[in-house]
């Protein structure tokens, strides 16, 4: 029983602040797979942010302008530079982990708890 308690404590964190990227309805739209691919991705991406990182979040739970710029730029660059194979449904967890890691590198370790993809259309 002690082992289970230890595991859950090590993964515990305060409830995060959820931030939807891009347009409230549309989410993010970006060309993917290189210019010759002619493909675009329309995705709903929600970040679970660490509310304790005051450099990134304002008191009303929104991204501060500098953090928002870094988040959008990093997200768009990562998606644009990804290969079409990276968007395969079986690789979605890898894509989310890569985005989380890149955002934490830009915003500070522990800034992003998790990345959720709420809609996904590749055309």
Domain tally for the chain? 1
In a domain, 83, yes or no: yes
In a domain, 7, yes or no: no
For residues 23-33, give the mean pLDDT: 91
In a domain, 42, yes or no: yes
pLDDT in tens, 72-99: 999 999 999 999 999 999 999 999 999 9
In a domain, 4, yes or no: no
In a domain, 8, yes or no: no
Q: Which domain holds residue 108?
A: 15-122
In a domain, 2, yes or no: no
- 87 within 8 A of 32, measured Cβ to Cβ: yes
**CATH code, domain with 29:** 3.30.479.30
pLDDT in tens, 58-68: 999 999 999 99
- 13 within 8 A of 31, measured Cβ to Cβ: no
In a domain, 38, yes or no: yes
* DSSP string of 50-66, one letter each residue: -TT-TTTB-TTS-B-HH
Please tell me the pTM assigned to this model: 0.85
């Amino acid at each position: 029983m002690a082992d289970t308690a230890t595991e859950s404590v090590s993964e515990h964190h305060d409830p995060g602040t959820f931030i939807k990227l891009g347009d409230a309805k549309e989410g993010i739209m970006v060309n993917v797979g290189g210019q010759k691919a002619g493909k675009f991705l329309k995705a709903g991406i929600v970040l679970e942010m660490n509310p304790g990182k005051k450099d990134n979040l304002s008191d009303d739970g929104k991204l501060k302008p500098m953090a928002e710029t870094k988040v959008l730029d990093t997200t768009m660059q990562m998606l644009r530079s990804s290969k079409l194979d990276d968007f395969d449904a079986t690789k979605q967890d890898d894509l989310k982990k890569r985005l989380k890691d890149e955002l934490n590198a830009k915003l500070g370790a522990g800034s992003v708890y998790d990345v959720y993809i709420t809609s996904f259309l590749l055309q």
